[in-house]
Structure 1
Amino acid sequence: MAEENQNENKEKKQNGLKNIISRLILSVKRLRYKINRKVIIISSIIIIVAIGGILLVPMIFNSENVSSTEQKAKDLEIMIPKSAYSGNKQFIIKEIPEDSIEYQNLTSMANFQGKIYSVLPSDGVEESSLVPMKIRYKIPNDLYFGDNFTNFSIAYASEDEPPVISELPGSRIIQIDNSYYVEAETFHFSKIGLIVKSPQESDYGMKTLTEKPASYKPDLVLIPGTDVNFTGYLSNTNTSENPYGSNFWSVLFKERTIWQYKYPLVNTKSKTYYDSYQGFLMRTGSKSFIEFEAKRFAQELKRLPNREFDIIAHGVGGLIARYAIESDKSIDNVRNIVLLSTPNDGTNLANPLFFNLIYGKDSNLLMETLKIDEETSFNIKYNSNFYLEQINSYYYDLIPNSDFLNKLNSFGMREDINYITIAGKNSGIKMDLNQSSLSRLYPEFINGEGDGIVSVNSALIPEAKTKLLYDYKFYDLYSKPDVLENIKKILEDNLDAPDIKEFKDDEFIETYEQLYSQNSDGTNVSQENNIVDQQNPEFNLPINYSEFSLIKNIEFQKVLNYGNPSLHTFDSKVLISTDSGIYDINGNVLLNTEIINSYEYKNRFIVTSREGVFVLDQNSQEFIKIEEALIESDEAYYLPNFGLLRIFHNVQNSTVYLDKEIISNNSKIMEIEEYNGVNYLVFQNRISLLTKDNLNDFITKESIVDITGSNFDYIKNIEIINGDFYVSTNDYKLIYVKGDRSFYQILGDGDVGRLDLITIDDNLYVFGSDTLTYLDIPNKNFPGNYQRFDYSNFNYTIMGDTVYGIRQTSRGFELWKGNLTSF
């Protein structure tokens, strides 16, 4: 009862504050009808700053729990929270005709797919909302490739001429019933449409930018904020030795391995990612994306305990880094943390109430009242709008005195980690704003006090060992030579090279694994003698890389008008599996049913569907139904002599049933591989052997890491050749494991693709979405030849010397083929 009363009092307090704000905003709106309008504006600013800085934060930005009105068109839906405006504001949604010049102009400027809508206020008054409004655009089913793909975004076009087209940051992919949508948030509407890009799987977490030999110098971790250029990629730096190009951090720190922590607070979030966030929200009650990412970053640091790191972070990236290391004191592999323009105490540019006071208001009135010139008025409105849209999905975390910032600053700084805080004091605003009322709203725009986004007081933590101040702007600070040189000097101070004793004896075991696992006959095999001697590797690895045409004469074949097509080779035929059936290369229907999985198994092509199990063998011309079972699962595999394998996925794991018995529920399953009558289930953390009685771990991630000393994200897929295992990982590693598990070798580390492994004529072809390389298996040689495609693919197959691939373009799924180069 006490809790109910407390919640009721809290709600009353919030409603009262909402009424105050509504009356203030209404007063500002009515200024055009008032004689003493300047007085009202200034008074409103003073009151709102007071309320916004003290009481408003916990209330105004709880929009998730506020009821909203919805307006819909065919593919578009907008949701306006009741607290978004002082009154009941409505919008008019109009479809822009596809045969109009306006539509043609917009589609020529961006890769819009489908309808484009104009969303205008019915009262004709352009104003910014107090809390974000949602936009939801339906994704065509035939363009949705899977829950881990992020090739969609919502874009809006300005009313300028020509229009400026921008993608709404922070979009996410959601599912409602059997349909998928892109959902985004914004503080004002305009022309809105769906952008479709080449399909690419999301790729989050710690990713290697530059790999260097191990040394006494810590690795660097770069954590960008809203500025994607922070990773410092230098154009036109691709070489045969470095096919992925350079970045200015690798030029500055030539001897260090450099990582990037990738996260999608600006880019579109995949459904898999957003489902994981929703699980975090349900477990913790926290809706903070920054806290969610900080927890994930902390796990990344802890999975690499043998690495030591210096962290360099910009903007919001610094908050992620701080929360990770300060909330989890068990992280002990961070030496220094450099925070560039990090809003440690928040920024007023994140407050939509402040922005509402200037957006859509008469420019002459603002200039007269706030004592600013036209250029200043334009720049402040533009910069405020740009940054608020950049952080629209987590703006509430960055408002001064937010729950997140208060929680973060309650942990206390780490005494065992050296903090370097760096701030800029050039706001980019030429005018001196000290005498303007605007200085009370946005101290970040006052030269000497802010960099245009973050104030000096917010960026420089008083307790930090090193505090540096430069006359630069937020988006320039990290790239200036004097700033970079000082960062380098600080990070390399007190780094003394260790004394290295002369090597005298190599008769020792470098690594071994005290692990017992089972063979297919159920007998235990000790792996105590599984010794890795990397000084005598089985495979010869490339010293450098050469670009080489592994596939020649690539030609477009046709547009595939199917949902989620994938290619298979069976009995000298290329088959196309789709959501709705199986087709041959000419488009003839071979099986018309709702497909769950399709795969080759012991010289048969098997299809599991909602209607049962179908089989095509080498002696038949059509599919035959062999099981009538009604299958309801995310994935399903019929394994003759074993039974039906049904798989249900959740955010973290897969529950795997063999007929009616659960055989695994503690890891995500990636694929099923059959070799010489033995079934291997490939999970993210292990490769397991399926027997009639149980599931036995054959190769584990833990064993690979222990023996090779090289950590990785998770297992993606495998290929078995002559009984030996080739393991591809999510973070672009390729690992060789001898069939008896007596030898392990890292074959590729960041320089190979991860999409598929295909064996043809004793060569193992390693496909990425836009790269291809190969291994000569009989000669145990990795030549280092690679081919880079100009487009992104998501599926391949090889028949004879012909390679078939599927890519996604603005026209849809495109099938192409090319000739495999013979060696």
Structure 2
Amino acid sequence: MSFLKKLLEIVLKRKILFFTLVFISITVFFLLIFFQKEGSLKIGKEGAESGFINLRVEIPPGAFGKQKVLKITRLSDEERKLYPDVFVGDLYRVEFADGVDEFALKPIRLKYYFDAKYLRGENYNNLTFAYATEDGGYRIIPGSMIGKDERGYYVEAFTYHLSVFGVVLRSAGFQKHGIRLLREAVNSSGPAVLLVPGEDPTFEGVVKDNNIWETIFPDRTIMTYEYALYEPRSLAYSEMYRSFIEKEGRRSFIDFESDFLSQEILKYSQYEFDILAHGTGGLIVLRMLQRHPEVNNVRKVVLLSTPVQGTNVVNPLYFSSIFYGKDPEVLEDIFGIEWTKLKMLTLHIRNLIDTLGEVVQEILPDSQLVKELREFARNDVEIVSICGDTPPYGVDVSGTELERFYPEFVKGRGDGFVSIQSCRVGKVEQLSGNFYDLYSREENVAYIRKLLKYEVQVFSGFRSDDYEEYLPSKNPELSEESVQKVVEAKETKGTELSVLPVKILFENFLERIRSLELSSYLSGALVGKEVYIATESGVFAWDKKVFDKKIEFFKKVEDYASFVDEGDIFIVDNIGIKKYAPFPLVGDISDALITRNAIIYARVVPGGVRYYLFRNGAEKLLATSPGTTVRMKSENGNYLLITDGEVVAIGSDFKEKGRVLSSLFGEKVKIVDASFKDDAFYILLNDGSIAFVSSSRSETKNYGLTVPKKVLNFQGRILVVYDGVILDLSAGKAQRFDRGIIDVFLGNEGLFIVFDEKVRVSVEEWRLSKD
């Protein structure tokens, strides 16, 4: 028994020891992972992927010509102090173990997992990869993309060289993607000029609050296509690109943007376009025309320094072999070119490669995209391709060994990005200038203006006097039979065809329920069972103040309300008031209507009003109207955009359903308000008249009521509000009030009427009488 007892004690002790050793091993393993300071991997022609918990480094096959050992070190807190504070999270030094730096022949993918707290939203591009520079600064890696996988959120980017890498937190900004209007020429009959920039951001022509293209084309509508070639890319933007890659089975940022541009141009089908494109932006335009024959509203395309046949300038093999890590003074003796010019040449090439990242692979002379562009065959669009004749920085490699590699830097043949051979498509022209100033030289601007000239079409007049200034959603042509009915309806003295009542009976059909006095009033809305009233000092839930700040753009939208305060959007729903999202718009906005996923807003400009749609981080022109006053409202699933010169109906899909000009009713007549019911307009005019307009007929009646205020659609009834009268147009009756009416908004069972009490205002609930 004694022997067995000792044996049991030994086994028990060893078992405890065994589990202790296992526990220590597991702990050490996780500590090594989480506090890892250094790692390495061997890379060869087949490529490799490795890294830390937060940083992954992927080397593609063929990036380096021989086997190398990559060393990755997480910087200590003390080392971290040597670098700018803009970095968030850990910094990593990625280098070769042998100390010999090399330039990759294919882009290296970096992937960094960051704390989710730094992500402002899926449409924000506030996080980007960056590398530390030798002078103690940092440089953003262009085209950084935010992503998310099972591990969490990450930023990925592509680079051709190694350094100290980290993630930089920028000021939050919405991703810009799509066509943006710069200037609307309301009275112009010429095609809109669309700018598609490339590597050079100054091509957009922005100078403070002005744009040089508006001066060059003073009588034309000017738009620009915004996309993230070198800008950081938000999560939403990046996921769209990744979906494209998955669908296409290949990586092509140029084709991704060409598809998106085609969608944008088709949205603006009411416009004809002349396109001015620079550098890689020109490739996006050409691929858009090649991949999308349905785009047929492009008249002319002018390409500036576009590498249609590819370019050697961004070839990583040439740069790595000839320039990377080489002393310009030594190269001066080899090539016979002044070393200062060689240094500028090196910086120019490296900047372009850094800017383009993985796009470099698409614009090399033997790339798949360039090969496909050789089959370009659109004959319905006039294309002029312009190349410069002078390399930048006074560089000229003529008569040197470099001429074989870089014809783009031969004076008289290239402009520092393309050569006269590599820009060939359509009609080819060579003008004086380099890649950076070709589009801004005075003589070249005159030539571009000449290329895009247009003939003003002579208006031959209307066919008859019965032309209706109403544009239905599909704008169908009226048959001869329907036109005749319109004429008869206008000429008929009876009431058989009349929609508007011939007579109005005055009687009380509303009765007061409750009343509230306030010092001021801006707007009101019933949300659920709660009445919210916006005043000059804040928002009230009937008589209780629930938001103590001055607000803007308070409106009822569907079953909720929304407003803006100090740069933030607030939503009012059944739960109450809550901050929803940052308000992304700046500048002089006359009115805004905010839904949960979009913003419609208006700017008054010389000659009229522009309405814009801001959605998914992108802005587009929604409509333009003549007039100087603006009113926007949500009504039964539609949005009404109203000026004194026109009313436009927009559906919930943000597509236009119809519009009516005030000139239909007379030269001096102005629109006050409108409602849209059953695809027809009920319009209140400044002389007190009410007009009914549909795609087949129109009629106008004046009941002698003055000071028109508003039109409402209440449970299928059309109510018209005047200074002291509310008219039920559907029932042909009206009720007078003993005070002036400021505003009326809808309740569930009746109306909330805001009366002018001289010093104060009263808000009263009135319901339909049971009689």
Segments of structure 2 that go 5 or more residues without pairing to the other structure are 1-42, 476-496, 500-538, 549-569, 580-596, 598-614, 619-633, 640-648, 662-672, 684-708, 711-720, 724-759, 762-771
Query: Secondary structure of the residue that 2:342 maps to in structure 1?
Result: helix
After TM superposition, give the deviation of residue 451 of structure 1 in Å. 1.1
Query: Secondary structure of the residue that 2:656 maps to in structure 1?
Result: helix
Letter in 2 for 1:437: E
Query: How well do the aligned residues superpose, as a CA RMSD in angstroms?
Result: 4.2
After TM superposition, give the deviation of residue 214 of structure 1 in Å. 4.2
Residue 188 of structure 1, aligned match among 161, 171, 180: 161
What is aligned with 1:471?
432
What is aligned with 1:707?
658
After TM superposition, give the deviation of residue 341 of structure 1 in Å. 0.3
Residue 80 of structure 1, aligned match among 51, 59, 82: 59
Residue 435 of structure 1, aligned match among 399, 418, 423: 399
Give per-residue Cα distances to partners, 1:72-95, cap 9 Å, x unaligned: 2x6433333353222223134242
What is aligned with 1:265?
229
What is aligned with 2:447?
486
After TM superposition, give the deviation of residue 155 of structure 1 in Å. 1.9
After TM superposition, give the deviation of residue 510 of structure 1 in Å. 1.4
What is aligned with 1:310?
274
Matched, 1:124 2:99: yes
Distance 1:681 1:399, change over 3 A: farther
Give per-residue Cα distances to partners, 1:32-89, cap 9 Å, x unaligned: xxxxxxxxxxxxxxxxxxxxxxxxxxxxxxx9x96423222x6433333353222223
> What is the distance in 2 between the residues matched to 1:181 and 1:737?
48
**TM norm structure 1:** 0.54
After TM superposition, give the deviation of residue 331 of structure 1 in Å. 2.0
Query: Secondary structure of the residue that 1:119 maps to in structure 2?
Result: strand
What is aligned with 2:181?
208
What is aligned with 2:516?
none
> What is the distance in 2 between the residues matched to 1:736 and 1:102?
64
After TM superposition, give the deviation of residue 138 of structure 1 in Å. 2.8
Matched, 1:450 2:429: no
After TM superposition, give the deviation of residue 98 of structure 1 in Å. 5.8
Q: How does 1:401-420 map to 2 (within 5 A)?
A: 401-412=366-377, 414-420=378-384
Letter in 2 for 1:300: E
After TM superposition, give the deviation of residue 278 of structure 1 in Å. 2.0
Give per-residue Cα distances to partners, 1:536-578, cap 9 Å, x unaligned: xxxxxxxxxxxxxxxxxxxxxxxxxxxxxxxx99885579xxx
Check the 8 A contact 1:224/1:315 in 2, yes or no: yes
After TM superposition, give the deviation of residue 300 of structure 1 in Å. 1.8
What is aligned with 1:145?
120
> What is the distance in 1 between the residues matched to 2:450 and 2:636?
50
Matched, 1:299 2:257: no
> What is the distance in 1 between the residues matched to 2:219 and 2:463?
23
Distance 1:246 1:600, change over 3 A: closer
Distance 1:89 1:424, change over 3 A: farther
What is aligned with 1:218?
191
Segments of structure 1 that go 5 or more residues without pairing to the other structure are 1-62, 236-244, 516-528, 532-567, 576-597, 608-648, 650-666, 671-678, 688-697, 711-734, 746-761, 764-776, 780-821
Matched, 1:602 2:562: no
After TM superposition, give the deviation of residue 188 of structure 1 in Å. 0.6
Letter in 1 for 2:140: E
Matched, 1:511 2:471: yes
What is aligned with 1:498?
458
Range that drifts further, 393-402 or 452-461 = 452-461
Letter in 2 for 1:275: E
Distance 1:744 1:123, change over 3 A: farther
What is aligned with 1:169?
142
What is aligned with 2:6?
none
Check the 8 A contact 1:78/1:136 in 2, yes or no: yes
> What is the distance in 2 between the residues matched to 1:421 and 1:514?
37
Give per-residue Cα distances to partners, 1:93-114, cap 9 Å, x unaligned: 24263686623xx33xxx4334
Residue 320 of structure 1, aligned match among 284, 288, 291: 284
Check the 8 A contact 2:388/2:431 in 1, yes or no: yes
Matched, 1:135 2:107: no
After TM superposition, give the deviation of residue 282 of structure 1 in Å. 2.2
> What is the distance in 2 between the residues matched to 1:306 and 1:138?
45
Distance 1:489 1:170, change over 3 A: same
Query: Secondary structure of the residue that 1:387 maps to in structure 2?
Result: helix
Residue 332 of structure 2, aligned match among 367, 381, 393: 367
Give per-residue Cα distances to partners, 1:793-819, cap 9 Å, x unaligned: xxxxxxxxxxxxxxxxxxxxxxxxxxx
Query: Secondary structure of the residue that 1:404 maps to in structure 2?
Result: helix
Check the 8 A contact 2:469/2:660 in 1, yes or no: no
> What is the distance in 1 between the residues matched to 2:49 and 2:80?
30
Q: How does 1:754-765 map to 2 (within 5 A)?
A: none
Q: Equivalent pairs: percent with the same residue?
A: 29
Check the 8 A contact 2:114/2:153 in 1, yes or no: yes
**TM norm structure 2:** 0.57
Check the 8 A contact 2:74/2:90 in 1, yes or no: no
Check the 8 A contact 1:277/1:292 in 2, yes or no: yes
> What is the distance in 1 between the residues matched to 2:348 and 2:296?
39
Distance 1:277 1:484, change over 3 A: same
Residue 93 of structure 1, aligned match among 73, 78, 91: 73
Distance 1:603 1:145, change over 3 A: closer
Distance 1:606 1:306, change over 3 A: closer
Give per-residue Cα distances to partners, 1:731-753, cap 9 Å, x unaligned: xxxx99657764499xxxxxxxx
Query: Secondary structure of the residue that 1:459 maps to in structure 2?
Result: coil
Distance 1:308 1:158, change over 3 A: same
Query: Secondary structure of the residue that 1:260 maps to in structure 2?
Result: strand
> What is the distance in 1 between the residues matched to 2:375 and 2:234?
32
Higher relative contact order (CA 8 A, sep 6+): 1
What is aligned with 2:386?
422
What is aligned with 1:350?
314
Query: Secondary structure of the residue that 1:83 maps to in structure 2?
Result: coil
What is aligned with 1:594?
none
> What is the distance in 1 between the residues matched to 2:419 and 2:474?
55
After TM superposition, give the deviation of residue 455 of structure 1 in Å. 1.5
Check the 8 A contact 1:423/1:469 in 2, yes or no: yes
Query: Secondary structure of the residue that 1:406 maps to in structure 2?
Result: helix
